């Protein structure tokens, strides 16, 4: 949830360099630490301004600038559920949706978290929250917990805390 709420914060406050730096390193972008350092080190203004000025220097910066410019324009005119639905369905140059990119980077467990986030956005709209600022504020203060059911025979190793694994019945936890 943090990256999606962070994107809302960036759309509202693009001069927040810490939020933008976190987003550039998040699954929303393909900017690694060295690339972020190269962009941020020695800049004369905000990180957003630097990204806009230097985006053509690297493909990952160009893709990030394009995503963030699109998000800022959409956030100004869309309610939260519509905004996030469009965001997750948005395709990159390789044709992958942002949702698919997130799942590739974070694993299939993130699918339930994304669905829960969209459900929260829809519920907020039904309560009358039509702007991204109020939605981001509510989400930052909420403590939504996504419960995952143990699935049989997925052929995966799941690493979890003892607290998170409590109640699971499996040969090895």
- What would the pLDDT profile of 84-120 be if each residue is shown by its tens digit? 999 999 998 889 999 999 998 888 888 999 999 999 9
Is the four-CA dihedral 28, 30, 31, 32 of positive or negative sign?
A: positive
Segments in the chain below pLDDT 70: 142-173
3 state DSSP class of 97: strand
CA angle, corner 97, sides to 91 and 100, nearest 5?
A: 160
pLDDT value for 146: 46
pLDDT value for 43: 93
Cα 48 from Cα 33, distance rounded (Å): 17
Which tokens hold the place of 117?
């986030």
Task: Give how far Cα 38 sits from Cα of 23, 31, 58, Å.
Answer: 16, 10, 10
pLDDT value for 160: 61
pLDDT value for 30: 83
pLDDT value for 108: 83
The model carries a pTM of 0.79
**What are the two backbone dihedrals, phi and then psi, of residue 80, each rounded to the nearest 5 degrees?**
-55, -50
**CA-closest candidate to residue 5, choices 130, 90, 126, 121:** 121
């Amino acid at each position: 949830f943090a990256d999606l709420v962070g994107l809302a914060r960036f759309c509202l406050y693009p001069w927040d360099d810490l939020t933008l730096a976190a987003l550039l390193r998040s699954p929303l972008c393909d900017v690694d630490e060295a690339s972020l350092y190269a962009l941020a080190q020695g800049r004369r203004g905000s990180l957003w301004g630097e990204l806009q000025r230097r985006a053509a220097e690297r493909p990952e910066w160009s893709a990030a600038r394009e995503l963030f410019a699109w998000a800022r324009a959409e956030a100004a005119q869309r309610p939260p559920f519509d905004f996030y639905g469009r965001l997750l369905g948005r395709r990159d140059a390789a044709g992958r949706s942002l949702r698919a990119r997130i799942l590739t980077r974070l694993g299939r467990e993130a699918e339930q978290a994304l669905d829960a986030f969209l459900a929260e956005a829809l519920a907020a709209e039904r309560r009358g929250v039509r702007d991204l600022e109020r939605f981001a504020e509510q989400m930052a203060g909420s403590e939504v917990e996504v419960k995952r059911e143990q699935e049989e025979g997925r052929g995966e190793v799941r690493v979890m805390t003892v607290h998170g694994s409590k109640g699971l019945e499996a040969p090895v936890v």
